[in-house]
């Protein structure tokens, strides 16, 4: 199980590195940066979707599973990427989108032609309902991207839990599943090392009956209607049987799975996936509730501890787990739980908090330098289909300035601004016009400067990964226990004992302990060995103790 000791890194292809001047990142651009990833300590790459796509949702809307989108390059470029990555000991994990396709995929083009088309059954079609003589959608369920999860086409509706250009596949249809497995085989044969299985929670849908979810919305955000339902596990089992023995899989398990749900997917004794991404920790501040003039970032440390602790303890020795702060669907963690006024300190603290836990780290490009939310001003600065759709809906309920505060704080575009390589034009990302605004702060926040600065967040990550290797018996395999106080501190016990002390706030906090300090493993301020610290803002200290 090599993946337990791997350091993962997610590349968002569109925003990583452009070598053609198109303003959009490409595969050659990723190849160009492989040495940088080696320098950082990464040996597992998660590549966002690069299949042919109309890019309604930046590639999660696939129109041809067997080809690379020309924006990113060609299949030959992809083969080169794999070759170059292998040379450097980096494994490649592809995004695998199984819940839906693009409406421009040949299957859907066929499916919508007529009710007796052989591909009709590849998607989910339902007749309208009539309430008091008025036609309504088949159910009152909402879509994740706003509005109904049904779209009218001819005299029926097709299901789309994301955008209307992303019709949901019908997993009840065996022929459809077989076609998907064939496609998966194609990529396995090309030599990929694994898959990040997208939106896997949603493969099964509940019977099509209205939700009695409360609230005044016309369309009910009742995600349980298509999340973590029993047949999903059967489908995952089938998928696993079709994969080569050593193929690595990490699933995205949304919809608030319980520990039992998680174990049904990843438990060692009944494994459908190798590990999963959970979302609990993504909402531990007031950001998602910020319909106000300004976002006051109040982090709920207790909730955050609980969100991580439940998996660190509940899954220990029963399964493996993925560690991540954010991906392309969330705001930047520096803006969410860190503090730009304490950029260096909080950037290093965030690294310490998460990556001294057990599990496989997945950094999101830019996290290693503490990139922040985008500096978006107007709605026209945003590109994300969910953000733009949500804007229209939110304006019906909230004043415009409040909606803008909300979007600036929470939009997925915050994590999608171009990677900041240098302080130069467009942050060294492109020589053309970037597809989305480059953050102005690249003049002081970029890879090049942090490579030179021995005290940077980037250098701290490098050191941290070295410590993870050196103390792997404890950090990767040891027990985890939180200290019951208002800091974010915990103890790891394996063949050594490690005390991880974190002050996730800008207030000073006194921290005492009774261990004997053997060695200071890492810190983000100058410190001496001690049994009592007055922790400064965002101070982080890692001690080997006994
Ligand atoms: C996943 C992806 C997200 C995408 C959605 C639909 O949640 O991470 O970016 O919009 O699935 O494919």
Quote the ligand 1 centre to 511 CA distance (angstroms).
Answer: 41
Q: Which atom of ligand 1 is closest in space to residue 162's alpha carbon?
A: 6
Question: Is the shortest distance between the CB of 435 and ligand 1 below 6 Å?
Answer: no
pLDDT of residue 264: 93
Mind giving me the DSSP string for 435-455? SSPPPGGGGTS-HHHHHH-TT
Averaged confidence pLDDT in the chain: 96
Of the residues 56, 77, 198, 544, only one is catalytic, namely 198
Q: Which of 326, 204, 320 is nearest to 273 (CA)?
A: 320
pTM, whole model, 2 decimals? 0.97
pLDDT of residue 293: 81
Give dist(CA 332, CA 416) in Å, integer. Answer: 9
pLDDT tens, position by position, 295-331 = 888 899 999 999 999 999 999 999 999 999 999 999 9
Question: Is the shortest distance between the CB of 223 and ligand 1 below 6 Å?
Answer: no
| In the chain, % of residues over pLDDT 70 | 100
| 3-class secondary structure, 532 | strand
Q: Which atom of ligand 1 is closest in space to residue 385's alpha carbon?
A: 10
pLDDT of residue 274: 97
What tokens appear for 133 in the block? 């003589």
- Given a cut of 90, whether residue 255 has pLDDT beyond it is no
Helix, strand, coil share of the chain (percent; to 5): 35, 20, 45
pLDDT of residue 41: 97
Residue nearest to atom 7 of ligand 1 (CA): 199
pLDDT tens, position by position, 371-426 = 999 999 999 999 999 999 999 889 988 999 999 999 999 999 999 999 999 999 99
pLDDT of residue 292: 80
Question: Is the shortest distance between the CB of 413 and ligand 1 below 6 Å?
Answer: no
pLDDT of residue 115: 97
Q: Are 122 and 176 in contact (CB under 8 A)?
A: yes
∠ at Cα 200 (196, 203), nearest 5°? Answer: 145
Q: Are 29 and 19 in contact (CB under 8 A)?
A: yes
pLDDT of residue 352: 98
- Given a cut of 90, whether residue 109 has pLDDT beyond it is yes
Q: Give one word for 538, left, alpha or beta, with left for phi > 0 and alpha for psi -120 to 50.
A: left
Residue nearest to atom 6 of ligand 1 (CA): 60
Question: Is the shortest distance between the CB of 60 and ligand 1 below 6 Å?
Answer: yes
Beta strands in 412-516 (DSSP E): 479-482, 490-493, 497-502, 509-512
Confidence bin at 140 (pLDDT 50/70/90): very high
pLDDT of residue 215: 85
Give dist(CA 180, CA 337) in Å, integer. Answer: 39
pLDDT tens, position by position, 490-512 = 999 999 999 999 999 999 999 99
Residue nearest to atom 9 of ligand 1 (CA): 329
198 is catalytic: yes
What tokens appear for 510 in the block? 């006194």
pLDDT of residue 294: 80
Q: Where is average pLDDT lowest: 221-225, 232-236, 285-289, 337-341? A: 285-289
Q: Which letter, b or e, does each residue of 347-377 get, where b requires 16 or more Cβ atoms within 10 Å of its Cβ?
A: bbbbbbbbbbbbbbbbbbbbbbbbbbbbebe
């Amino acid at each position: 199980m090599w993946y337990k000791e791997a350091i993962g890194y997610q590349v968002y292809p569109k925003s990583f590195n452009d070598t053609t001047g198109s303003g959009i990142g490409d595969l050659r651009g990723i190849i160009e940066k492989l040495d940088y990833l080696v320098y950082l300590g990464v040996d597992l790459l998660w590549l966002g979707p690069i299949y042919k796509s109309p890019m309604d949702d930046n590639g999660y809307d696939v129109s041809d599973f067997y080809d690379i989108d020309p924006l990113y390059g060609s299949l030959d470029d992809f083969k080169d990427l794999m070759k170059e990555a292998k040379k450097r000991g980096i494994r490649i994990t592809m995004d695998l989108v199984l819940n839906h396709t693009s409406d421009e995929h040949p299957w859907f083009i066929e499916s919508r032609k007529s009710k007796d088309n052989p591909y009709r059954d590849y998607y989910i079609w339902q007749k309208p309902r009539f309430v008091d003589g008025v036609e309504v959608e088949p159910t009152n369920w909402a879509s994740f991207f706003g509005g109904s999860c049904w779209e009218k086409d001819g005299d029926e509706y097709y299901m789309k839990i994301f955008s209307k250009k992303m019709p949901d596949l019908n997993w009840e249809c065996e022929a459809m599943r077989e076609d998907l497995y064939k496609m998966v085989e194609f990529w396995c044969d090309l030599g990929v090392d694994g898959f990040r299985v997208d939106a896997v929670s949603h493969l099964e849908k509940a019977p099509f009956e209205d939700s009695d979810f409360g609230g005044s919305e016309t369309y009910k955000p009742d995600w349980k209607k298509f999340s973590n339902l029993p047949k999903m596990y059967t489908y995952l089992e089938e998928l696993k049987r079709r994969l080569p023995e050593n193929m690595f899989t990490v699933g995205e398990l949304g919809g608030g799975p319980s520990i039992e749900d998680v174990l049904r997917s990843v438990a060692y004794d009944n494994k459908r996936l190798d590990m999963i991404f959970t979302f609990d920790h993504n909402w531990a501040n007031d950001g998602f509730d910020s319909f106000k003039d300004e976002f006051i970032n109040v982090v709920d440390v207790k909730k955050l501890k609980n969100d991580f602790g439940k998996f660190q303890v509940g899954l220990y020795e029963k399964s493996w787990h993925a560690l991540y702060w954010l991906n392309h669907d969330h705001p930047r963690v520096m803006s969410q739980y860190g503090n730009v006024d304490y950029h260096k300190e909080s950037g290093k603290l965030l690294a310490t908090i998460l990556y001294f836990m057990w599990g496989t780290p997945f950094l999101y490009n830019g996290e290693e330098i503490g990139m922040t939310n985008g500096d978006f001003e107007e709605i026209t600065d945003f590109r994300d289909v969910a953000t733009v759709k949500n804007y229209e809906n939110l304006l019906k309920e909230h004043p415009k300035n409040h909606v803008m505060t909300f979007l600036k704080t929470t939009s997925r575009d915050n994590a999608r601004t171009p990677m900041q390589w240098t302080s130069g034009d467009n942050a060294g990302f492109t020589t053309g016009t970037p597809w989305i605004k480059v953050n102005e702060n690249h003049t002081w926040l970029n890879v090049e400067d942090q490579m030179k600065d021995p005290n940077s967040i980037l250098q701290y990550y490098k050191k941290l990964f070295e410590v993870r290797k050196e103390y792997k018996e404890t950090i990767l395999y040891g027990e985890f226990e939180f200290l019951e106080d208002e800091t974010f501190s915990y103890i790891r016990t394996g063949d050594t004992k490690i005390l991880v002390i974190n002050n996730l706030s800008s207030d000073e906090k006194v921290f005492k302990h009774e261990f004997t300090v053997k060695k200071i493993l890492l810190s983000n301020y100058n410190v001496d060995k001690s049994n009592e610290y007055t922790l400064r803002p965002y101070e982080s200290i890692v001690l080997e103790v006994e």
